[in-house]
Structure 1
Amino acid sequence: MRSIIALFMILCCTAFSLVVDSSLPAKALSAGEGEFLPILIAVERPGRVEILATARQVPMSHRRNWATAELRKLSDEHQAPVLRELARMERAGDVRNIRPMWIGGSIALDVSATAFDRILQIPKIAVIADNSPAKLVQAAFESIRSERPFAPADAMAVTDAMNQVKAPQAWAMGIIGERVIVAVLDSGVRYTHNELVNRMWMNSGETPGNGSDDDMNGFVDDYHGYDFVNSNGDPWDDYGHGTNCAGLVAGDGSWEYSTGTAPGAQIMALKVVNHTGWGQPAHVSWAVQYAVDMGAHVLSISLGWSDPSDAIKNYFRVIFEDVLAAGVIAASSAGNGSGSGGHFPAPRDISAPADCPSPWQAGASSNTAIVAVGAMNIGATEIANFSSLGPTHWDTETYTDFPHPPGLMKPELTAPGTNVQTTSHFGDASYTSWFTGTSASCPIV
C-alpha cells in the first residue's frame, strides 16, 4: 500500500481543479487487504456552461428534451476516456461496479484501496467524492416511526399545517397541483395508503409485476417509481419517513384527512434510503436522473448531508445545475442542525444539497434547481429552534462565488415543521401528528 507521503505527493501534483473528498485518502491507507472503497467521480465537461446558459432561452415546452439530450451527449464524450481507463483497471481487478450517469457527468464505482492513487492520476476528473452510506433522514425530537391519531382543527378535516399555509384558499382557486409530477426522494412510499393511492404516478410504458423492462428505460417494473437501494421496481416504504413526506405533498383527503398542499399532484416514489434512514450519494444521483428523464416537474428531497465535505458540496451543485437546465425545480430540507438540538457553527449548518444557490440567486456564478426549506413552529411564525441556519459558504476549489463572510443566505423558504399531521406507513388508514423537522417542512412547499 502506498505511504501517506506518496498519496500526498500525488494529490499535490494533480490538476488544481480536482476536488477529492478529504476522508478518502485516509480510508485508502487504513483499508484492509482486498478492501474496496465506494466512490463517485464527476468528470470535467468543457462546454457545459454554454449549455446551461442556452437552456434558459429554450421554451419550457422543449427545454427538458433539449437540455437532457445536450448534457447526455456532452457527458458521453468526456466520460469516454475515463471509462476506458476504468475498464483497464476493472480487467486488472482494481475496479468493479462501474455505473456511469449523464447527470453531473457522474460515474459511480468501487475501487480497490491499493489502487486509489491511480484514480487520482486519471486526467479530466473534477470531483472524487466518498460514496459510503450516511444517515440522511432523521426527524428532530419525535420518532417518525410512532403512530398517533389526531383531530384537525376544523370540521372539514384539513390539517393544522394546511390551514397555516392557507392551502384551502389556494384549492378554492383551483390550484391543486393537477398534472404536476412530484418525485419524492426518500425511504419509499406506502402507495396503497387511502390518501395516496389515487395520487401515485403511473408509468404508462410499464406493465407492473411482469418482470420486464417494457419501456426499455433500464428499470424493470418501475410503475410507481423505483427502489434504488435494492435495485427493484417496488419503492415500498419500510421506514416511514417517505410516506410522511408524500402525505404532505399530495394527501388528498379522499379518505379522511387533507394532509397535502397539492392534492391533485402525482407522486413518483423514488426510494434512496433504507429501513434505517441511511443512503448513498449514488442512489440519490440515480434517482435525480430518473426523475428528470421520466418527466417529474418538482423534486422533493427531505434528506441531506450534514456538515458536508467540499467534494459532496461540489458534486451536488453540478448535479442540480443540470436539473435546472432541464427546467425542473427541487425543494430540499435545510437540515436539523447537528441533530441533537444544537447547531454547527456558521457557515456549516445548512446540509447539502440544500446549500446550493437557488434558481433566482443573484451573484451566483451558476444557479441550481435547489430551494432550501427551513422549519417554523406549528401555529406560529418563528423559526423552530432545531432548523438549520445560514449563511452557508461557497469557497471551494471550483466555486468561489459566496465566500464566508458574508456567505450565502439560507434557507429561502420556511414552512410548518413541528408536530405536523400527515400520513403514516403503518397502515392504509394510518396517520401521525408527530412528524417534526425540516423534513416535514420541505414537502409542504
Structure 2
Amino acid sequence: MPNFIDRRLNPKDKSLGNRQRFLKRAREELKRAIADQVKSDRIADVGSAHGVPMPKRGADEPTFRQASGTGDREYILPGNREYMAGDRLPRPEGGGGGGGSAGSGGGGSDDDFQFVLSRDEVLDLFFEDLELPDMVKLNLKETVIYKARRVGFTTAGTPTNINVGRTMRNSFGRRMALGRPSDSEMQALADEIAALENDPNNSRQSAHQLKVLREQLDLLERRRRRIAYVDPVDVRFNRFERQPLPNASAVMFCLMDVSASMGEREKDLAKRFFVLLHLFLKRRYERIDIVFIRHTDEAREVDEETFFYSKQSGGTVVSTALEEMLRIIDERYPAEMWNIYAAQASDGDNTSGDSERCAALLRERVMRLCQYYAYVEIIDERETEIFGTTDNGTSLWRAYRAVDGEIPNFQMARIARPANIYPVFRRLFTRQPAVRARG
C-alpha cells in the first residue's frame, strides 16, 4: 500500500494541520522538555524559539493498510513438500517474529530528532502548566503613542503617498491587455509612410499602399488617445496604519534575597516568578532593561547568571537592596524618561529593626519613582493555612502591609508552591493603579 506523507512547508505565520496534530500527540514530552530548559536557560531566552529533542518512539509517520479482519481476499501461496493445510508450525528459535529495529547487529537506526517550537508555541506550553494560557494578554496602565507603519497599498490617498512602481506596473498590464499601440510600433509605421512619400517613383500601387498606411496610423493614434498611458484605475498609494507603541522605555528591577534562609525551593519559586514578569514586560515594551540585584546583609547589582546560580549566602538586611536600587536609578534611569517597575522576592526574614527602615524607604523615595512595585513572600507550604489569609507573618510582611494600605501601586502576595505562581502573578498585574503625580 502507498504511504501518504504531507511534507508541505508551513506558510508564514500559520501552521498546517499535521503540525498541530503532532503538537497534540507529543504535548507531554514537549512540556517536560520546555520545563527542563526553563530551569537551565537564560531568562531572556525563555520567550524565543526552542529546539526540543524528541524521541523516535511514537513519532513514526502514519501509513494506510487494509484491515486484516474485514473483506474477502484471495491469496496465492507458494507450494511446499513438508506441510499440509491444518498442520502446526514450530515456533522459530530466538522468539521469531518479523523484522524490527530493536537489538544490535547490522543495519541502521533512527536517532532522536529536533522539533523546533516557535515563540508562541513555547509560551503556550509554558503557560499551560499553570493553567493561565491567556495571562500574557494582560497589560499595565500606560500612555501610548502611535507611529505610522506600511501595511500595503490603497486606491485613495494624498499625492505624496503615490507608489510610482506599483502604479506603473498596473498601467503596463492594462495597456498590454487593451492592446494600446507602443511608441516603437507607431514610429515604425511613420517611418514607412515617410519613405513612401519621399520615393520619386510613386506608382499607383505605392499610392494605394500609402493610403492604407495612413489609415492604419490614424487608427492607431485614435486608439492611443482612447487608452490612456496612466489611468486613474492604475494609481496606487502607500497605505499606512497607526501602530501603538509605548511612549517610553521600561526598566525592571529584580530584587531577590539570597541569604542563608533562602533554600533551593525558595530560589526556584522566585526564578519562575521573575521569568513570568520578564515575558510580560518584554511583550509590552519595545525596549526593556532588566537590573538584577541580590542581597544578603549587603546588596550589589549582578548579571543574570550570578543572580540565579551563585551560591553566596549570609545574613539578611533587606534595606540594602532598596538603597542599591535607588542608587542605580539616580545614575542610569531618570524617572521622567523611564517607566520603572520593581519586583522583590524574599522569605521575609530580616534583621531586627530593618523592616521599618524598608517601609520608610518605600514611602519616602522608592514609590515616588516607581510606577508599580510587587512584593512576593515565599513561605513554607505548612504555613499556608496559618498565614495564607491573615496579616500575621514576618516583620517584613507586617511592615510592607502598612505600605500596601497607603500606596495603590504597591502590591504584595504570598507563594507557597509552584501552583500559586500564576494566580498570584495575575492578581498582582491585572490591577491598574490610578495615575498619580510624582512627588
TM-score, length basis structure 2: 0.25
Greater share of residues in helix: 2
For the pair shown, which has the larger CA radius of gyration, 1 or 2?
A: 2
TM-score, length basis structure 1: 0.25
